[in-house]
Amino acid sequence: MEAKHRQILQRHRRDLVTALNPADICDGLLSKGVFTQDMIDEIQSKITRRDQARQLVISLEMRGSQVFPAFLECLRETSQHDLAELLQCGDGACLPTSVPVQPSLIPLPVPSETQGVRPTRTRRDSIQCYKMDASPCGICLIINNVDFDPASDLKDRKGSNIDCDKLEKRFKALNFEVIVKRNLKYKLIRQEMAFIAKRDHSAYDCCVVIILSHGTEANNNCFPGAVHGVDGPSVPVQLITSYFNGQNCPSLQGKPKLFFIQACGGDEKDTGFEVSPDEVEPSLVGIDDQMDAIPISSSSDSLSTSDELDARATLPTPSDILVSYSTFPGYVSWRDTQAGSWYVKNLDRVLEENAATDDLGTMLLMVNHAVSQISAKGLYKQMPGSLNFLRKLLYFQSSQS
């Protein structure tokens, strides 16, 4: 597909996912040679209409240069004129107009043998997207460290319970089995990781680990940073992810493993730099902002000798892993004691507003942009980021059909 047509589809992905009727258009796309029967089967294997529409758009982007005109023709043949007009205007074929796109109320037909329709197959992993339709989708472990031992010289993390409550509700809404652990010491963090990793994840499609704690800088081969137990010692993020690799958790091989870290990556404060006025949006200035940091650790925080190489020879060790950090390595992460952390607040909002239409990578870019616009005490900034070793797009389940 030509780059300009791919950009049009990406720009109007939300409209297409909201309003497109894949059941009406698949036969036309097959007859015109746009899709093969296997591709049609892949689309029809999705459970909801939205998922079918999303898969259809993703598949279109992978096809040749003549696909876009054929797609527009199929839309018109199936009376989906509003969508055809919207996309054609994006191609410069008409004057830009505001085209209202309303979701169709036509229900998806229920395939049956008696109707002569191919029965829907069990949804399978695809080349473009991870399979994410298990129920529950997977386990989501949240470690919420709030009250730290006085001997640790770490302050209590006021406002973290707000973050924890938001994320617990959000991932339950995304159909995860959520487990919340509070105030874990160093050894208990490691024990909890080992316990979750030893569970049988065969029936699940994903695993999520969220850690809300103080953090510090720690250099490792893949994933920098470390998080503190409430007693003071820190667990390297690389060690945390290693519990879930192919050697230690075979039932998660080939499945996405997501880690969200709300903690400092060091003690450096970012004062930002000047940009043109149109690059800056109104920012929130919190009088109760605190940091999730202590001075840089002098220890060499490395993996123990008991950590072995990934046993799966066909995939690299860090494959199917994404670690999302609340801040750039070496810098502090800000938390409002009354409203929770900047990162979690925006992560929760973006997931709520966009999980039904956008993939995780796109949503994390939205989080990055939103957090980058905020200032602490009118001066300090924060820049989230992620190390993404996923091999495919990841779309969460949504209650919207």
- The catalytic site residues sit at 214, 264
Cα 321 from chain centroid (whole Å): 11
Distance CA 86, CA 98 (A): 8
Separation between Cα atoms, residue 83 and residue 106, nearest integer Å: 16
Where does residue 264 fall: left (phi above 0), alpha (psi -120 to 50 degrees), or beta otherwise? beta
Note the residue count of the chain. 401
- The amino acid occupying position 51 is D
Bridge partners of residue 209, in order along the sequence: 141, 259
Largest CA distance in the chain: 72
In terms of phi and psi (left: phi > 0; alpha: psi -120 to 50; beta: otherwise), the region of 276 is: beta
Pairing mode of beta strands 375-376, 285-286: parallel
Which long-range contacts does 363-372 make (Cβ < 8 Å, 24+ apart)?
A: 364/324, 367/324, 367/343, 370/346, 371/326, 371/342, 371/343, 371/346
